[in-house]
Amino acid sequence: MRFGTYFFLQAAPGHRHADIVRRELDQMVLSEQLGFDEVWLTEHHFIDYGLSVDPATLASAVASRTSKVRIGLAAAILPFHDPIRLAEQLALVDIISGGRLDVGVGRGNRPSEFAGYRVSQVESRERFDEAVQIMVRAWTEERVSYDGRFFQLDNVRVIPKPLQRPHPPVYQVCVSPDSIEGTALRGWPMLNSILFGGIEQIAASRDRYVATLQKAGRTAAEIAALLARWGVSRQIYVAPTDAQALAEARDAEMWYQESFRKFVIPSRIEDSHPTLQPAFRAMAERLSKITWEGLVAETLAFGSPDTVARHIDQNAPDGRGPGPVLDELRRPPRRQGPPLHGPLRPRGHAQIQVAELSPPPPLPSGERAG
């Protein structure tokens, strides 16, 4: 199991945007100093839910201020980008970082973002498919020609090439069964989140992913390698005691949940495309039932070091556990200066790389997991 931090650059009331950006960049540098494995960045537009409007720029800034921590995008929203331009930018980031870039990609899910970029949301899947094909080819081929519905290229030379060969690792954000299956068929690791509800939803996603890999003929060793790179983000907050953690985090967590609701549900569902309205209404109904008590009981890993360690141990039931990171949670702080706990500002949630949550579905007869 590996650990990282995940930054949205969330703009809670009372904080200047410039201060938020500077503070978050400082925390990304601190993540390396504290021994985290990866810093993850996202992409959002036109809302306080996240000021991370350009993950490539942020990744470059992090790369220039760190030397060891990996830098992941979770994710670049491909329907909002020219794929050639994005391929160039990310190749440059990979070089600047010394080959530390992981590229997560997604389709996007917020109507106002699509409207702001003048892109039809119902085209997101086709745009995503074309863009990712072009990006991978731009990284791996000397010249690229392409004739699609949205993009046409004629013998374009794309340079520089990424430092990592054949290209930086590609991940996909998965929020639906079809995206999980599509990611498995591409042979990419998936990225999931636990924002509400219990950890069993992540196990269900993993089971669907593994079943699809098996149907596609992937070997046990290939499946194990992909699961080893599976990313799950979960909200974590640590303080000396459970009571202190919950008291400090409650207001920020409920602000986050309301901000997420505004982000993912259009203010007027009836104005969205008819094919999208049923999903928006179902999500609105589900989010309306979220309570602080339910989040504490099912979702959040908030508490003392030992409590948070027990939450994380749920992700490693085979007994290996997450190792020295949990020892660090339990150890008295050695760091000079103010404690790391304190009044919580909404700023995203920790990314936890999870290899196993529970035993995966049986492998085909005669195969064993590596």
One DSSP character per residue, 213-262 reads HHHTT--HHHHHHHHHT-EEEE-EEE-SSHHHHHHHHHHHHHHHHHHHHH
pLDDT, tens digit, 9 for 90 and up, residues 8-39? 999 999 999 999 999 999 999 999 999 999 99
E-strand stretches of 32-184: 38-41, 70-77, 101-106, 143-147, 152-157, 170-173
Tokens found for residue 284: 């609105």
Q: Count structural domains, the chain.
A: 1
pLDDT, tens digit, 9 for 90 and up, residues 265-306? 988 899 888 998 998 999 999 999 999 999 999 999 999 999
Q: What is the mean pLDDT of residues 185-203?
A: 92
Give a yes or no: residue 359 inside a domain. Answer: no
Q: What is the mean pLDDT of residues 308-318?
A: 74
Which CATH number fits the domain that encloses residue 156?
3.20.20.30
Beta-bridged to residue 102, according to DSSP, are: 72
Residue positions counted in the chain: 370
> Cα(90)–Cα(139) distance, rounded to whole angstroms?
10
Give a yes or no: residue 362 inside a domain. Answer: no
Per-residue confidence (pLDDT) for residue 370, from 0 to 100: 34
- 208 or 363: whose pLDDT is higher? 208
Give a yes or no: residue 191 inside a domain. Answer: yes
Of all helices (H) and strands (E), which one includes residue 71? strand 70-77
C-alpha R_g of the chain: 20
Tokens found for residue 269: 């569902």
> Predicted confidence band at 316 (pLDDT cuts at 50, 70, 90)?
low
Give a yes or no: residue 369 inside a domain. Answer: no
φ, ψ at 102 (rounded to 5°): -115, 130
Beta-bridged to residue 172, according to DSSP, are: 105, 190
Give a yes or no: residue 36 inside a domain. Answer: yes
Q: Are the CB atoms for 79 and 131 separated by under 8 Å?
A: yes
- 181 or 326: whose pLDDT is higher? 181
What domain range is 26 assigned to? 2-353
Instruction: Look at the block and give the residue holding tokens 């994005």.
Output: 86
Q: Are the CB atoms for 302 and 260 separated by under 8 Å?
A: no
> Predicted confidence band at 72 (pLDDT cuts at 50, 70, 90)?
very high
Distances (CA, A) of 60 to 55, 73, 181, 194, 209: 8, 11, 31, 28, 32
Give a yes or no: residue 368 inside a domain. Answer: no
pLDDT, tens digit, 9 for 90 and up, residues 245-258? 999 999 999 999 99
φ, ψ at 275 (rounded to 5°): -70, -20
pLDDT, tens digit, 9 for 90 and up, residues 44-60? 999 999 999 999 999 99
189 Cβ contact partners less than 8 Å away, ≥ 6 residues apart: 169, 171, 172, 183, 226, 227, 229, 230, 231
pLDDT, tens digit, 9 for 90 and up, residues 323-363? 444 454 445 444 444 344 333 333 333 343 433 333 444 44
Range with the poorest average pLDDT among 168-182, 310-324, 352-366: 352-366
Give a yes or no: residue 358 inside a domain. Answer: no
What percent of the chain is modeled with pLDDT above 90?
75
Instruction: Look at the block and give the residue holding tokens 């990284």.
Output: 139
What percent of the chain is modeled with pLDDT above 70?
85
pTM: 0.85
pLDDT, tens digit, 9 for 90 and up, residues 226-235? 999 999 999 9
> Predicted confidence band at 225 (pLDDT cuts at 50, 70, 90)?
very high
Of all helices (H) and strands (E), which one includes residue 5? strand 2-7
Q: What is the mean pLDDT of residues 107-121?
A: 92
> Predicted confidence band at 114 (pLDDT cuts at 50, 70, 90)?
very high
Nearest of 4, 3, 50 to residue 27 by alpha carbon:
4
> Cα(30)–Cα(46) distance, rounded to whole angstroms?
28
CA atoms within 13 A on the CB side of 211: 11
Give a yes or no: residue 98 inside a domain. Answer: yes
Per-residue confidence (pLDDT) for residue 315, from 0 to 100: 63
Per-residue confidence (pLDDT) for residue 125, from 0 to 100: 94
Per-residue confidence (pLDDT) for residue 332, from 0 to 100: 47
Per-residue confidence (pLDDT) for residue 262, from 0 to 100: 87
Nearest of 162, 47, 174, 205 to residue 104 by alpha carbon:
174
